[in-house]
Structure 1
Amino acid sequence: MPSEELRMLVGTSIITFNSNTQFLIENFLAKAMPKNEDWWTLTDVEAGVVYERCHQFLVDLHRNDIADMFFDLVQRRNRIVHCFQFSHSDGSQALATLTRRTHQQFEIDKAYLLRFIKDNESLALLLDDFRNQGS
């Protein structure tokens, strides 16, 4: 097993990302007021689908910053979710992933997870600002 710290950071990464996905859905439903979407449906689909349904709405409101950041985080979250364990030469366990198109392998280490969490914090601040601005 990877270290307890790494496992805790993976969990924190997922929870932080899920919170932002819900925050994005909240903003979308409150500001776009779509007739064919609801909380239960949107919280039950993949984050990539949430992105697809919210993207044009964000672009129309000139919030490409949120759309682009969320898209990037979806891709990085997918790398965390689809990671696998491997052993370093010293026998310690770690996590790695493959990029989807190139199959380039890289380690999901503490720095990667901390950056992901920090970038989610940045997205949360953007979403909070968006929620508080007029439509």
Structure 2
Amino acid sequence: MAAYEPIARNYSIFPTKPKVGSGKVLAANTNVDGTGTLVPVFPAGADGAIVDSISIVHLGANTAATVLRLFVKDGSNYSLFFEKTIPTNAGSQVAESVFYDILFNGTDRKRLILPPNSQIVACVGTALTAGLLVTCFGGDY
């Protein structure tokens, strides 16, 4: 046996309370550096937060295709961490809109752990008529 054996952490950290945050995104913003019109969708608490999934849905007829961009805002710094192409939507009362679910479960994508008091903000590349609802599901630490 070696004189020194590092001790591995063998405990898990779980959120203390579930949290859901959302925002309506519709104004065009072609910037990819975190400037321009951004919509807050999920604020982290004082001890940080984890986001398990993000759901995106059309809020009606959107005749322009766009790209949804998600940033982590940590104080005054913005980091682009995800983009998703969103096609047009007819906005029917007899057919469902397409939901897009993004999983951050460590398998499909890396875990999304936010620093204390940071937030997720969103924008779209082209203007939308009805907009998109971006909803984050997670919890505060």
The TM-score with structure 1 as length reference comes to 0.23
Higher strand share: 2
